[in-house]
């Protein structure tokens, strides 16, 4: 064999070997990188911001299954270190919530970050001396009275469980506040519950706190609160003021009230239910039967006993020029259908128009609700 040819073969073989070793070394030396500054993030119940830094030597992306309650300022990036802002609003769910952020890179690596947010109710223990009362109905329960200076002085043992986010009141949904009116809608007025609560705290030991949860819709038929047929009564009026009220309770006022009541039950004990409704159902003899269905549903859905949770129903405005006092004879029949129902008289409660009490009328009617409830509590 030609020596020069053999030498060329040996040289080519040597060069290939060196090349392969170099390539192998390159492969071994290359390290894929994907990491995060923390694998666990905790956000406060009232809302807040946290930061996570993602470091990678390749492109990456984040799968955020918690959207919309958890907002990420950035969900993808490339090689280098990227600081990402995580933001959550006020947690109004009534319980802690959490999510997992899955970060994956184009080189096949993946990491997970757990994000949790506490609840504003987590630190509040159930108190047997915290008496809670549910309220529902139409415009008079919603509150149509002018709120005057005397109405803004409230004992801090009288609380309202805020059912709507009201920026004008600086209140957040599903949170307890001292019950300075309005205690229903963000812009509603004085209602019977305002002086119901005042009467209760004025006549009970200092160890007792009174809380109310008020979900009412002006102009509503009582069957809007029937969980099985509410959808037939959620647009009895096409006017925006009515449909927007229904929409504010997620289209289902009954279920909305139950949801809020279940959250509140973590803090106290439901002791009674207050009702003021009937103007829209004037003349309907079946009204007591409609109310019985709703009351029984509430007892069942909230695991309550009728003997421990009476229903107080108020008469309609009966002053001069009223529209609907003829309904009071039907309302007075309610105890015949619901043995644990009690009627609150509206006699001599003054009004501002054909259907609504004025501020003094609401104060007097609310006090009567309170006196009756105190009587029932003391009889047990």
Q: What is the pLDDT of residues 261-299, one digit of tens each?
A: 999 999 999 999 999 999 999 999 999 999 999 999 999
Give the residue from 346, 333, 352 showing the smallest Cα distance to 372: 346
Characterise 246 by phi-psi region: left (phi > 0), alpha (psi -120 to 50), beta (else). Answer: alpha
DSSP reduced 3-state for 366 = helix
How big is the CA angle at 168 (ends 162 and 173), to the nearest 5 degrees? 25
- pLDDT < 70: residue spans in the chain: 1-30, 65-67, 92-95, 119-125
The predicted pLDDT at position 2 comes to 52
The predicted pLDDT at position 7 comes to 52
Catalytic residues: 139, 353, 356
The predicted pLDDT at position 281 comes to 98
What size, in residues, is the chain? 380
The topology under which CATH files domain 34-117 is Immunoglobulin-like (2.60.40)
User: How many Å from the N-terminal Cα to the C-terminal Cα in the chain?
Assistant: 119
**Residue 314 contacts residue 276 (beta carbons within 8 Å):** yes
Domain ranges across the chain: 34-117, 130-378
Give the residue from 269, 252, 190, 240 showing the smallest Cα distance to 215: 252
The conformation of residue 143, written as its DSSP 8-state character, comes to -
- Give phi and psi for 356, each to the nearest 5: -115, 140
What does the radius of gyration of the chain's CA atoms come to, in whole angstroms? 32
The predicted pLDDT at position 3 comes to 53
Burial class (CB in 10 A: 0-12, 13-18, 19+), 28: exposed
The pair of three-digit structure tokens given for residue 145, joined into one six-digit string: 């009275």
The predicted pLDDT at position 31 comes to 76
The predicted pLDDT at position 300 comes to 97
How big is the CA angle at 29 (ends 25 and 30), to the nearest 5 degrees? 120
Give the residue from 137, 169, 108 showing the smallest Cα distance to 315: 137
The pair of three-digit structure tokens given for residue 72, joined into one six-digit string: 């990420």
- The residue ranges of DSSP E strands in 217-300, in sequence order, are 269-276
Give the residue from 66, 115, 119 showing the smallest Cα distance to 90: 119
Measure the CA–CA gap between 66 and 86, rounded to whole angstroms: 11
In CATH, which of 3.90.420.10, 1.10.10.10, 3.40.50.1820, 3.40.50.1110 is domain 130-378? 3.40.50.1110
The predicted pLDDT at position 184 comes to 98
- Nearest-10 crossing angle of helices 253-264, 287-301: 40
Measure the CA–CA gap between 250 and 164, rounded to whole angstroms: 11
Measure the CA–CA gap between 304 and 272, rounded to whole angstroms: 10
The predicted pLDDT at position 12 comes to 47
């Amino acid at each position: 064999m030609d020596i020069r040819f053999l030498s060329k073969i040996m040289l080519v073989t040597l060069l290939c070997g060196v090349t392969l070793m170099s390539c192998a070394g390159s492969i071994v030396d290359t390290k894929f990188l994907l990491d995060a500054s923390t694998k666990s993030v905790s956000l406060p119940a009232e809302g807040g911001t946290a930061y996570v830094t993602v470091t990678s030597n390749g492109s990456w992306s984040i799968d955020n299954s918690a959207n919309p309650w958890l907002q990420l300022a950035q969900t993808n990036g490339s090689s280098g270190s990227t600081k990402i802002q995580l933001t959550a609003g006020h947690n109004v769910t009534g319980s802690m919530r959490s999510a997992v952020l899955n970060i994956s890179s184009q080189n096949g690596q993946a990491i997970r970050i757990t994000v949790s947010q506490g609840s504003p109710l987590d630190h509040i223990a159930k108190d047997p001396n915290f008496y809670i009362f549910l309220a529902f109905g139409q415009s008079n329960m919603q509150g149509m009275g002018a709120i005057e200076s005397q109405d803004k002085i409230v004992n801090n043992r009288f609380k309202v469980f805020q059912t709507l986010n009201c920026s004008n009141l600086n209140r957040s949904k599903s949170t307890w506040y001292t019950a300075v009116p309005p205690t229903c809608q963000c812009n509603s007025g004085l209602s019977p519950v305002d002086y119901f609560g005042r009467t209760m705290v004025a006549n009970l030991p200092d160890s007792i706190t009174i809380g109310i949860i008020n979900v009412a819709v002006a102009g509503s038929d009582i069957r809007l609160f029937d969980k099985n047929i509410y959808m037939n009564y959620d647009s009895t009026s096409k006017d925006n003021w009515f449909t927007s009220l229904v929409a504010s309770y997620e289209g289902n006022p009954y279920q909305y009230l139950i949801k809020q009541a279940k959250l509140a039950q973590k803090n106290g004990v439901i002791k009674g239910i207050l009702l003021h409704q009937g103007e829209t159902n004037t003349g309907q003899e079946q009204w007591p039967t409609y109310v019985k269905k709703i009351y029984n549903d509430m007892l069942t859905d909230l695991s309550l006993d009728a003997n421990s949770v009476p229903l107080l129903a108020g008469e309609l405005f009966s002053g001069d020029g009223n529209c609907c006092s003829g309904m009071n004879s039907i309302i007075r029949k309610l105890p015949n259908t619901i043995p644990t129902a009690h009627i609150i008289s509206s006699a001599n409660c003054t009004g501002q128009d054909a259907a609504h009490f004025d501020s003094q009328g609401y104060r007097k009617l609310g006090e009567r609700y309170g006196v009756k409830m105190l009587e029932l509590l003391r009889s047990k």
